[in-house]
Amino acid sequence: RKEVEQDPGPFNVPEGATVAFNCTYSNSASQSFFWYRQDCRKEPKLLMSVYSSGNEDGRFTAQLNRASQYISLLIRDSKLSDSATYLCVVKGGTAGNKLTFGGGTRVLVKP
């Protein structure tokens, strides 16, 4: 079983629509959680940290459920520029300081 699992997609999303996806993680001792965005053939870039209380950054909302060990990301009013691969990342606990990535969820926003 992978440490961090994501639906690879692609999620085909009409422009202006809302899309949500999540990931699950296996290490219950994980301490920090993130969503990264990766464009084709580019490096991953930090989108946002994720907290149990939930956090929002503009059109993006992230949520952590520690009991069920899953992390979600919701994108409202999708833009064409939101097309990318979204990587779920966990860090800490018994895994130390390394970042453990999921395989990514591909999102395609279409006109």
Partner 1 sequence: ETGVTQSPTHLIKTRGQQVTLRCSSQSGHNTVSWYQQALGQGPQFIFQYYREEENGRGNFPPRFSGLQFPNYSSELNVNALELDDSALYLCASSLERGQDYGYTFGSGTRLTVV
* Site residues, partner 1 (CB under 8 A): 4, 31-32, 34, 36, 41-46, 49, 87, 89, 91-92, 96-104
Smallest separation (angstroms) from partner 1 to the CB of 56 = 17
Residue 54 in contact with residue 62, Cβ under 8 Å? yes
Q: In terms of CB distance, is 19 or 23 closer to partner 1?
A: 23
Question: CB-wise, 46 or 80, nearer to partner 1?
Answer: 46
Complex with partner 1: residue 14 or 48, whichever CB lies closer: 48
Q: How far apart are CA 72 and CA 98, in angstroms?
A: 21
Distance of alpha carbon 50 from alpha carbon 7, whole angstroms: 18
Q: Give least dist CB 57 to partner 1, A.
A: 13
Nearer to partner 1, 58 or 111 (CB): 58
Spatial contact of 103 and 7, defined as CB atoms under 8 Å apart: no
Task: Give strand ranges (E) for the chain.
Answer: 4-6, 11-14, 19-25, 32-38, 45-49, 55-57, 60-65, 70-75, 84-91, 99-101, 105-110
Nearest distance, CB of residue 80 and partner 1, angstroms = 23
